[in-house]
Amino acid sequence: MCGRAGPGTPVPMTSTTPAPVPASIELGGLDIAYDDRVLEPRPWTAAQSEWAAALLEEAPAGPVLELCTGAGHIGLLAVLHNDRRLVAVDANPVACDYARRNAAAAGVADRVEVRAARMEEALAPDERFPAIIADPPWVPSDRTTEFPADPLLAIDGGSDGLAVARLCIEVAAAHLAPGGVMLLQLGTVEQAEELRGVIERAGSSLRLTEVRQPAPNGVVACVRRTG
């Protein structure tokens, strides 16, 4: 529990615990650095990047928004071979540091802006994006113990695994440009169908139009803004 120190309250000593030694993984020709405070990049998630890059060829002009960026590889691979700017958002400052580091290593630091903030607080009201990429945590809370090596912040999606995905939909409703598209990573086809119902009940101009399953334990849902 956190509190404000008062008179006579001992001031804790600064920790001398060394930072974890970074690891790296090669994805799409990039060496992506991370450590155990950040979710280890999964190779199959490059399929989300490839789909995003293909959609960007016909998307309206403008920057790409990435939510829950982690080490940053999904967004970086999506914009690596085009001239799009990328705005990457994550609540974990360590993940943001790695996203910046990996953008610099990829040679695209001048096109990448990383914001360390909660997604609902990271954007100005008038910001609009023709494409959004999102990789929210989607493991139900009661199953997170099955993945002890993964940081809890990066995998805990609430009681049904969709708590953060719903926030992504809210951000898209407010910031996805007309004719824009969002690619949202989830765990199962059943979660995608549940989210389809959430979108339809909201009565917005968003529509879930396609679901792909590039891995047994991961799907990517395509959400478009109609009209």
Q: Give the integer Cα–Cα distance in Å for 172 and 195.
A: 13
Across the beta sheet with 206-215, the strand order is 112-116, 86-90, 64-67, 129-134, 176-186, 218-225, 206-215
Q: Could you list the residue range(s) of the whole structural domain that residue 97 is in?
A: 41-225
Q: 176 and 132 in contact (C-beta within 8 Å)? A: yes
Nearest of 66, 179, 85, 180 to residue 123 by alpha carbon: 66
Residues of the chain with pLDDT below 50 are: 1-14
Contacts of 90 (CB under 8 A, 6+ apart): 68, 69, 70, 96, 99, 114, 115, 116
Q: What is the pLDDT of residues 43-52, one digit of tens each?
A: 999 999 999 9
47 located within any domain: yes
83 located within any domain: yes
Q: 180 and 224 in contact (C-beta within 8 Å)? A: yes
Q: Which secondary-structure segment (H or E) carries 27?
A: strand 23-27
C-alpha 31: how far from its chain's center? 19
45 located within any domain: yes
31 located within any domain: no
Count of domains for the chain: 1
Q: How many CA atoms lie within 13 A of 207 on its CB side?
A: 8
76 located within any domain: yes
Would you say how long the chain is, in residues?
227
114 located within any domain: yes
What CATH number should be reported for the domain holding residue 147? 3.40.50.150
Residue 67, token pair as written in the block: 């939510």
pTM, full prediction: 0.90
Residue 115, token pair as written in the block: 């914001």
pLDDT score of 13? 44
CA distances from 60 to 66, 128, 133, 219 (A): 16, 11, 15, 25
29 located within any domain: no
Helix (H, G, I), strand (E, B) or coil at 74: helix
| AA identity, residue 160 | D
pLDDT score of 1? 30
pLDDT score of 17? 64
pLDDT score of 5? 32
The pLDDT mean for the chain works out to 92
176-186/218-225 β-pairing: antiparallel
pLDDT score of 16? 61
Q: Give the integer Cα–Cα distance in Å for 183 and 137.
A: 14
30 located within any domain: no
